[in-house]
């Protein structure tokens, strides 16, 4: 549909912007000087205008962008308050696999139905940021058939929907100064597809806990729990604490790289941390998530996602002197 026919569909910082065909995951660190910090904050304060500049050219492309701020960057903002749960990604050393912790001051999660929109937005963003930042990681994600990961399974099915999405992702009265914000955790996983493809479909389904062809959930009865069970966190009454995932495949057949970029939004950071502990340490301890035998986490970073209003005011507290 052309621009004249519709309004811009999404504000920047809208965590519930729809899953897309394309995404860019951009992680940067901010340079050490106060001027570099100020430039970076001024650019992110204007992110909504940039979404409009690029997004208005085809509203059907559904361009959206979410900015996350890392723990060390938050400490430089000169604010007396900080989000209650914000801290750097805590490394986990399991018996067989490690969840490593890697640097990142800003995350840009750029989504669109058209890869050219992600590209153009990232190009203009980096132009504005100039030498205030250094890119530490850039991943181009793409939709793979019916939202499958490169292991061949449909990924994202159990995500919350409707009102459940805001309940699961947006901070509320429990941390009133940061209400409307969220936490986001990212990890870049690289797969050993040769090992995975040597397994039978039944073995793969036992690892994931869902049928491969039609995505139907399987009962999990063995002591070795499936990924979907290890990643399910409940309270004492059995109510689930959901998170919102927007994982994307990435890779290059020519270089033999096949990966999944994990991204999870949550109102309660501890929920994702508990999921990671169950995956890497196992439950019962020792029986880790077998998904990790074919998936190596090469990055791991945590960010706070301020509401748009808070993001727009962040540059106000800093001075360039
Ligand atoms: C290599 C990386 C990963 C891959 C390929 C992957 C793939 C999948 C697949 C195929 C499912 C089943 C369908 C669905 O409900 O989406 C699933 C479920 C899930 N995954 Fe992952 N995942 C990965 C990493 C993670 C990580 C790191 C976390 C959390 C820290 C996580 C959390 C979840 C959750 C919460 C569910 C839904 C469980 C349920 O309630 O049924 N995943 N994942």
Query: What pLDDT shows up at residue 317?
Result: 64
Instruction: Say how many domains are in the chain.
Output: 1
Query: What pLDDT shows up at residue 18?
Result: 85
Q: Is the CB of 189 under 6 A from ligand 1?
A: yes
Tell me, yes or no, whether 1 lies in a domain.
no
Is 155 noted as a catalytic residue in this protein? yes
Tell me, yes or no, whether 37 lies in a domain.
yes
Give the chain's residues under pLDDT 70: 1-8, 317-321
Query: Is the omega angle on the peptide bond into residue 49 within 30 degrees of 0, that is, cis?
Result: no
Tell me, yes or no, whether 51 lies in a domain.
yes
Query: What pLDDT shows up at residue 83?
Result: 98
Tell me, yes or no, whether 35 lies in a domain.
yes
Query: What pLDDT shows up at residue 315?
Result: 85
Query: What pLDDT shows up at residue 6?
Result: 63
Tell me, yes or no, whether 3 lies in a domain.
no
- In this structure, is the dihedral angle defined by the CA atoms of residues 82, 86, 87 and 88, taken in order, positive or negative? negative
SS3 at position 86: coil
Q: Is the CB of 208 under 6 A from ligand 1?
A: yes
Query: What pLDDT shows up at residue 11?
Result: 87
Which amino acid residue places its CA nearest to atom 41 of ligand 1? 228
Residue 81 belongs to domain spanning: 8-317
Atom from ligand 1 closest to the CA of residue 242: 35
Q: Is the CB of 299 under 6 A from ligand 1?
A: no
Q: Which of 155, 167, 246, 283 is catalytic?
A: 155
Q: At how many degrees (to 10) do helices 34-45 and 115-129 cross?
A: 140
Q: Is the CB of 271 under 6 A from ligand 1?
A: no
CA 96 to each of CA 125, 282, 292, 297: distance values in angstroms, whole numbers, following the listed order: 39, 10, 9, 12
Query: What pLDDT shows up at residue 5?
Result: 55
Tell me, yes or no, whether 107 lies in a domain.
yes
Tell me, yes or no, whether 65 lies in a domain.
yes
pTM of this structure = 0.97
Atom from ligand 1 closest to the CA of residue 292: 1
Q: Is the CB of 303 under 6 A from ligand 1?
A: no
Atom from ligand 1 closest to the CA of residue 276: 30
């Amino acid at each position: 549909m052309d621009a004249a026919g519709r309004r811009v569909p999404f504000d920047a910082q809208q965590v519930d912007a729809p899953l897309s065909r394309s995404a860019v995951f951009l992680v940067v660190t901010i340079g050490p000087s106060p001027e570099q910090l100020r430039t970076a904050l001024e650019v992110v304060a204007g992110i909504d205008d940039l979404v409009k500049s690029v997004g208005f050219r085809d509203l059907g492309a559904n361009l959206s962008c979410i900015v996350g701020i890392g723990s060390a960057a938050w400490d430089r903002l000169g604010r007396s308050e900080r989000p209650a749960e914000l801290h750097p990604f805590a490394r986990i050393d399991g018996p067989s696999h490690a969840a490593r912790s890697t640097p990142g001051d800003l995350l840009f999660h750029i989504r669109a139905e058209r890869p050219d929109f992600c590209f153009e937005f990232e190009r203009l963003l980096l132009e504005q940021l100039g030498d205030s930042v250094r890119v530490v990681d850039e991943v181009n994600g793409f939709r793979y058939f019916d939202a499958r990961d490169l292991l061949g399974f449909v990924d994202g099915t159990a995500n919350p929907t409707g009102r459940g999405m805001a309940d699961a992702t947006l901070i509320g009265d429990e941390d009133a100064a940061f209400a409307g914000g969220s936490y986001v955790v990212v990890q870049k996983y690289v797969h050993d597809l040769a090992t995975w493809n040597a397994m039978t479909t039944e073995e793969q389904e036992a690892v994931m806990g869902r049928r491969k062809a039609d995505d139907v959930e399987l009962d999990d009865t063995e002591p070795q729990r499936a990924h979907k069970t290890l990643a399910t966190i409940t309270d004492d009454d059995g109510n689930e604490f959901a998170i919102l995932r927007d994982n994307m495949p990435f890779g290059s057949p020519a270089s033999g790289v096949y990966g999944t970029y994990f991204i999870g939004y949550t109102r309660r950071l501890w929920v994702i941390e508990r999921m990671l502990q169950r995956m890497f340490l196992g439950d019962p301890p020792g029986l880790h998530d077998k998904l990790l035998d074919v998936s190596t986490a090469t990055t791991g970073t945590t960010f706070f996602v301020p509401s748009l209003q808070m993001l727009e005011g962040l540059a106000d507290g800093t001075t360039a002197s």
